Amino acid sequence: ELPTHVTIYEVGPRDGLQNEDVALTAEIKVEFIRRLLAAGLPIVEATSFVHPRWVPQLADAAEVMAQLSAEAEVLPVLVPNERGLERAVELGVRHIAVFGSATETFARRNLNRSLDEQFAMFEPVVTAAADRGISVRAYVSMCFGDPWEGGVPVEQVVAVGRRLVDLGASQLSLGDTIGVGTPGQVTALLDAFNAQGLPDSALAMHFHDTYGQALANAYAALQHGITTFDASAGGLGGCPYAESATGNLATEDLVWMLHGLGIETGVDLDALVGTSRWMAGQLGRPAPSRVVAALTK
């Protein structure tokens, strides 16, 4: 039995733009975010309060959020540590996402911390956010495979997710950072989370389309009972600290499938495609999304 409604958590302005070489102005990013909201996306992850040297593409996070204070309620941001939270709080941010790694190597490469140390970094962030009524989502990266470590055991992924929930995260987003997972693995991972007391309602899926598996994986998760999916307008995306990570599941491709299944998203596909085409013009290359290509004459 498929759900009647799915929540799309749009990550284009963050996961999409963090990996682009073309420098965009804060004004263009703000327009991108406004157009995504206008296209009916209910939540748009807007930027990252990470170290500006680590992700120079999003170094203008404060400038972007300052122009969007009226929309703070629907614009979560990435925050890795206490310094990031301080910066976000100054801008009136209401929702944050911490991002943990299921593997030792990616924790070190992405966060400059060991796997264990990442929790010590997040703990005061989650506590301080709760004190301020700020909600916390937590990502788990490398849920199916890691470029340096290969396959990642399900138990290891579940243990990391469990620790993030125990810290106080209200939703876990399970990331296939390098897009290697296949549908049977998705089902097995969700079963394992459910068995540890984390129901599908507490979980979101975050697919990258590197190996062309994202939509098949999303369908497996949908059949399992997942109703929140991360996606990126036009299929932009990747992680600068994960070699071989390419674009996210394209929001348009996901919307096409969901609407075809009679599942509501609230998204106006034409408005979304128009937004991705406009962004492709800004970036000087066509959007990776198949649906954007198909609807572009």
Q: Which is nearer to Mg ion, 15 or 253 (CB)?
A: 15
**Does residue number 114 form part of the binding site for ligand HMG (CB under 6 A)?**
no
Residues in the chain: 297
- What does each C-alpha distance from 46 to 37, 165, 222, 239, 290 come to in angstroms? 11, 23, 25, 16, 24
Q: Say whether residue 206 binds ligand HMG (CB under 6 A).
A: yes
Which residue is closest to Mg ion by CB? Answer: 15
Residue 203 as a binder of ligand HMG (CB under 6 A): the answer is no
The answer to the question of residue 15 lying near ligand HMG (CB under 6 A) is: yes
Nearer to Mg ion, 133 or 240 (CB): 240
Of 8, 10, 15, 96, the residue at the interface with Mg ion (CB under 5 A) is 15
145-146 vs 150-151, strand pairing mode: antiparallel
- Who's near 217: CB < 8 A, 6+ residues apart? 176, 181, 182, 183, 186, 205, 207
244, two tokens: 């071989």
**Pattern 139-168, binding to Mg ion, x per CB under 5 A?**
------------------------------
Stretch that binds Mg ion, among 8-16, 60-68, 128-136, 209-217 (CB under 5 A): 8-16
Residues 6+ apart with CB under 8 A from 48: 14, 18, 55, 58, 61, 77, 78, 79, 84
Question: Among Mg ion, ligand HMG, none, what binds residue 84 when CB lies within 5 to 8 Å by partner kind?
Answer: ligand HMG
| Helix, strand, or coil (residue 142) | coil
Q: Which is nearer to Mg ion, 15 or 200 (CB)?
A: 15
Catalytic residue among 11, 111, 158, 239: 239
For 235: left if phi > 0, alpha if psi spans -120 to 50, otherwise beta; the answer is left
**Residue 226 touches which of Mg ion, ligand HMG, none (Cβ within 5-8 Å per kind):** none
**206/249 Cα distance (integer angstroms):** 8
Write out the DSSP string of 87-126. Answer: HHHHTT--EEEEEEESSHHHHHHHHSS-HHHHHHHHHHHH
Told to check if 18 binds ligand HMG by CB under 6 A, we report yes
From the list 10-18, 106-114, 143-151, 166-174, the region that binds Mg ion by CB under 5 A is 10-18
Pair 88, 125: CB distance under 8 Å? no
CB of 173 to ligand HMG, least distance (A): 7
| The pair of three-digit structure tokens given for residue 19, joined into one six-digit string | 């990996």
Residue 101: contacted member of ligand HMG, Mg ion, none (CB under 5 to 8 Å, by partner type): none
Give the one entry of ligand HMG, Mg ion, none that residue 139 binds, where binding means its C-beta sits below a cut-off of 5 to 8 angstroms depending on kind: ligand HMG
Q: Which residue has the tokens 């500006």?
A: 52
Among 7, 54, 92, 271, binds ligand HMG (CB under 6 A): 54
Which residue from 57, 103, 177, 232 is in contact with ligand HMG, where contact means CB under 6 A?
177
CA distance 63 to 68: 9
- Residue pair 277/287 in contact (Cβ under 8 Å)? The answer is yes
The distance of closest approach from Cβ of residue 195 to Mg ion in the complex, given in angstroms and rounded to an integer, is 25
45 binds Mg ion (CB under 5 A): no
Is 239 known to be catalytic? yes
Nearer to ligand HMG, 54 or 219 (CB): 54
Which residues are annotated as catalytic?
239
